Structure 1
Amino acid sequence: MPPPPLRGTLRPLPLALPTMRTIFMPPGRIHVWQWVLLTLGAGAMLTAQAGWVELHRLFKPLAMVAALLAVCAPRFAPRSARRLRARHWLLAALAFSLAGDVCLMLDGLFIPGLVAFLCAHVCYIRLFALDAPWLPRRTPLVACLLLGAGVYSMLWGHLPVELRLPVAAYVLVIALMAAQAVGRALVRASRAARCVAYGALLFMLSDTLLAVDRFVHPLAWAGLGVLGTYYAAQWLIVHGMLQTSQQA
């Protein structure tokens, strides 16, 4: 005997599975100054790889100037007091990054450059904590700290004695920055927050490549690898935060 017919209508479960676009594509429209940042960043990357020192010294700082101008664009004017504070912290992080870029281009200014980028990461940590709790997820915190410890242990035997403590402090701060960004993305569950988190992780990768190239073994593709991940990181952070500024 056949089974009795089912009553009612079967409805598919409302599965909201993420697509490749929602995971990897940045949200929102891209401002013209963001395109300029990408162009100048590519110029800095290629001139560094080719060894064109004078052109590199032109492209590298101008790329971060474009990032600052993108943040100051009227289209992204903050809609609330909290977003205004966020813009200030983002501008501070980019300004310190610009100072770090200039210092690292010049001989004998590695420590000032390291300090400038450490200050940039402190600003990013404060920025990412404006709309999310402090270190809201344990898993990314542990993962970033273990990653930082692994990188530092690799560098330890190659670092000059006077750099061991400053580099240790820097590794700790950038690990906390990345952990805060990833935890924020898990809490906010938005494409803009994920965009920022990807940028923070790329920043860790860029600094790891830079440290390996400088202290462990020169990389033949350092100009492409270090600066390619660096400008991708800054672009993703800027883009994600600018899109967030439009949401509140």
Structure 2
Amino acid sequence: MSNALIRLQDISVMFARQNVLDNITISVEPGQIVSLIGPNGAGKTTLVRTVLGLIKPDNGNVWRKQKLRIGYMPQKLHIDPTLPLSVLRFLCLMPGVDRISTQAALKEVGAEQVINSPVQNISDGEMQRIFLARALLRKPELLVLDEPMQGIDVAGQAALYSLITKLRDRYECGVLMVSHDLHLVMKTTDMVVCLNHHVCCSGHPKQVSGDQAFIELFGKNAQTLAIYHHHHDHDHDLHGTIIDDPTTL
């Protein structure tokens, strides 16, 4: 099974007799970022739920490394605005998590200053980093990120993508990420899987950008995104402001 953390082989999932996923094969290895892209309704969330073990496929096989630790970062989480819940209490709802480990995880993602803030007062960018800290508290071998940039401005997206790459490098974990942000996905990922109920195409971003299936889904202008590289000598804080010291991210 090579060096894979997880491998889905010929997976099919049906809802109401309709194929949501059809004959999907995908794997993630340690240190690899795999990005799922595709139109709305393409089956990306269903594939993520299959990876997490929340959906049992109708056909095919799911293989996971023994005792694989998965950290999951959801798109969003509804929290009752009347519920008195601080960031610390929210993260400590996980078994075995205390203030010390919470502080360390928040510092890792550049959000330690919000530890005592009510979750209802947290910005979208800060909330995504809190979700990421929550995933890290599981000491994951595989990070599964479902549209982690939702609701964040472009500068904040770039900062969060940079952080995810740094965490991948630091922990040598695999990353499976769902995203619509082609302009950032194409320069931060190792493998792109273009999904529209089946795998339309997959491979390195530059390779995928020339595939006819990719062009048909996203248009000819999307081809340039796979070879675009943005080099900069600065980073951004949670709100997108330029900072001189990237270690404060």
TM-score with structure 1 setting the length: 0.28
More strand by share: 2
TM-score with structure 2 setting the length: 0.28
More helix by share: 1
